[in-house]
A and B are shown apart, each in its own frame.
Chain A
Amino acid sequence: MNEATPALSRRRLFEIIGASVGGAAAYQAMTRLGYAEESSYRGPIKLDGDPKGASVIVLGAGLAGMTAAIELERAGYKVSVLEYNSRPGGRNWSLRGGDVYTELGGATQTCEFDPGHYLNPGPWRIPYHHYAILDYCRRFGVTLEPFIQLNHNAYLHSTSAFDGKPQRIRDIKADFDGGVAELLAKATRKGALDDAVSTEDQAILLEALRSLGALDKDFRYRAGDYSAAHRGYAKHAGGGLSAQPIAGEPIGLHDILTSRLWRGLQSFLLYDFQTTMFQPVGGMGRIGEAFARQIPDRIRYGAKVIAIQQNDNGVAIEFADLMAGGTVREVRADWCVCTIPLSILSQIPINVSAPMKAAIDAVPYASAVKFGLQFSRRFWEEDEHIFGGISYTDLPIRQISYPSTSFNAGGKGVLLGGYTFDGANSYEFTAMAPDERVKRAVAFGAQIHPQYLTAFENGVSVAWSRVPFTLGCAGDWSDEARKAHYDDLCEIDGRIVLAGEHSSYIPAWQEGAILSALDAIQRLHKRVIAS
């Protein structure tokens, strides 16, 4: 790269993307900058060979730890798991009515959702190309349903465009595509592309622009049946008398460009968010619960790891037994698979090589905040015909996601009332007391859905930097840190190997956690069999 080229730091790229369409895209960009590709999963792993009674202590009962524990036990290892929380799953987690959650600082929330409703504070959607987690869901009997990412009838909203009135995604998408197609058709027909496009291709291009841009026979994007076929009608077709539909007037390209609402269309193009996406029926936490059922009695809960020491013969883990007033206990094993988040592991005494320790210390953790808001009625469905999907806004809440389940059945509903990922607002929401966060989320959301003001019942929020078991949302690798430290983090160090989303190129996704665990235990097993 030329020295004179303006440099874009990775963080600055996030900033641009994050400011454009909100946290979801910044989150995706983080993944993209991790060079995320299609999952490398190629079916259940086979750990052939007899480990001859070797024992493994797994630290952490999130998806990485439980994957390791389940597969190692099947291969003949003696496995035990230490988990800080009193439940399995880690960041795979659903908050349901009656759940009590205390964040760092001591603020306690009791989730007051009605039965059947939930908030997934952590992961909430599964791409179709995350093969490993999909396979485990199938094998462990976790029922999936579609997660609606793109809903053409949800909104794009900017406080400084269209007088703050939310616009339907369908209108912005159709009118942007139509306006651009008309411009390009005009340029083509004026000969502006003659140097670049052959005459034959120009004819095909015009045909394509007319088709994909909904242009009329004169290559114009105007109110009429062509544009209405994409953007819908101002007055819908009916039956009987007065049934004829009336086409609406498209929003002009100038208005769309200057509104910046086109930025909200990006997340629907991203590979990670393309259809089909999935969610477990009943909440993402169903996955962690299903994993835990595979290893009954192997997980010790309320175990806070305070020291990890190894020598040539094995590992010794010291932990505070939180179920017994913090009594310090020790467990020993031949090997250790450690899935503790680096934000915490970096604070625990551990005798690993200097390069691995440097890697453990090299990764800052992202800040993210989510809100779950219960309403007395599903006004988004009843009044606005929004069934699932996500509205994006430039308000600090960044997005509102409508439940992808129990459609059209009336009754109450819980919205994801906001989701920030990095950026100033994540920190600012984190610094608020939980009730203040929820109050703000309701006030912001009411600018998009005024029904909030009368239908809101109760809410919860999870600020990941205040989550006691992670101290942050996910490993926020920089390219430089990854280059300098990633391999050192993943190498087996004596009798210890790390796993978790932080040890993957799919950071912050459950797929990364599972794939890192599978890779770690395959290498560990090879070493055990060879020893």
Chain B
Amino acid sequence: MRRVAPGTLALVVSAAVVGPAPADDAPANSAGMSRGWEFSEQGGAALFQNVCAGCHQPDAKGAVGAGAYPSLVADKKLDSSDFMLAVLLGGLKGMPPVGDMMSDAQVAEVVNYVRTHFGNTYSDAVSAADVATARRRAPPP
């Protein structure tokens, strides 16, 4: 975890209201959407379709505008689970570190899902423990 400068912290805490963890008093009726800051989806497919698909698209083929979201279909870069973990936990260029908003188990699930779907057939699954290790190593987002 990173630290903020003491002055910054004071500024923020004075302006902010520090409530309990979101789940403690989360909305009762959010219709399947996450109830706090972090993702509540469980399982690789649900995480992919509700998080990754926003940019990489539901078919994982990516999209092109003034810039592009890369396709993850038959993606040779995913050969390295370390690379994918580093991207999810540390971000990459404009991509935010979405793994910040997932548990270790969720990160493992979505990594394993993408690496075994969309024309990817990498059989070496990562575990939540692997994610925890990578998270400690990841540069701060």
Residues of A whose CB lies within 8 Å of any CB of B are: 1, 7-21, 25, 29, 32-33, 35, 84, 104-106, 158-161, 164, 260, 262-263, 266, 269-270, 304-305, 340-344, 346-348, 361, 363-367, 394-396, 422-425, 427-428, 430-431, 440, 443-444, 447, 463, 465-472, 476, 478-480
Contacts and interface: CB of A to CB of B under 8 A. Distances in A.
Contacts of A476: 96
B67 A424 contact: no
Interface stretch (B33-41, B113-121, B125-133): B33-41
B61 to A, nearest CB: 9
Instruction: Specify the main secondary structure of chain B where it touches its partner.
Output: loop
A20 B15 CA distance: 12
28 contacts: A7-B1, A8-B9, A10-B2, A14-B37, A17-B12, A19-B19, A20-B16, A32-B12, A32-B15, A104-B64, A158-B27, A160-B28, A344-B94, A346-B94, A347-B93, A361-B93, A364-B91, A364-B93, A394-B25, A396-B31, A396-B34, A428-B33, A431-B58, A440-B31, A468-B65, A471-B67, A479-B8, A480-B140
A365 B63 CA distance: 16
B122 interface: no
Nearest to A346: B93
Nearest to B18: A16
B37 A15 contact: yes
B50 interface: yes
Interface in B75-96: 91, 93-96
Given A84-B66, A396-B33, A364 B25 contact: no
A266 B37 contact: no
Contacts of B65: 84, 104, 467-469, 471
A424 B36 contact: yes
A266 B55 CA distance: 32
Given A160-B25, A480-B2, A18 B30 contact: no
A33 B4 contact: yes
A365 B11 CA distance: 24
Nearest to B54: A430
Given A342-B94, A344-B67, A260 B19 contact: yes
Given A1-B3, A343-B67, A476-B96, A13 B12 contact: yes
A463 B54 contact: yes
Interface in B19-64: 19, 21-22, 25-31, 33-34, 36-40, 49-55, 57-58, 63-64
Contact of B3 (A8, A344, A468): A8
A168 to B, nearest CB: 19
B101 interface: yes
A192 to B, nearest CB: 23
A478 B2 contact: yes
Interface of B: 1-6, 8-9, 11-12, 15-19, 21-22, 25-31, 33-34, 36-40, 49-55, 57-58, 63-69, 91, 93-98, 100-101, 140-141
Contacts of A367: 54, 96
Contacts of A305: 66
B94 A363 contact: yes
Contact of B96 (A364, A425, A479): A364
A447 B29 contact: yes
A518 B8 CA distance: 27
Contacts of B30: 159, 395-396, 444
Given A260-B19, A361-B93, A468 B66 contact: yes
A469 B51 contact: no
Given A8-B9, A428-B50, A463-B54, A13 B4 contact: yes
A343 B94 CA distance: 4
A424 B33 contact: yes
A160 B3 contact: no
Given A19-B19, A104-B69, A365-B94, 8 more contacts: A19-B22, A364-B141, A365-B96, A367-B96, A431-B50, A465-B54, A470-B66, A471-B69
A160 B12 contact: no
A466 B55 CA distance: 6
Contact of B66 (A8, A262, A469): A469
Instruction: Identify the interface centre among B27, B51, B66: most chain A CB within 10 Å of its CB.
Output: B66
B96 A9 contact: no
B66 A304 contact: yes
Contacts of B37: 14-15, 18-19, 423-424
A477 B26 CA distance: 28
A163 B139 CA distance: 44
A422 B68 CA distance: 20
Nearest to A479: B4
B66 A364 contact: no
Nearest to B68: A347
A480 B93 CA distance: 15
Contacts of B16: 13, 16-17, 20, 25, 29, 266
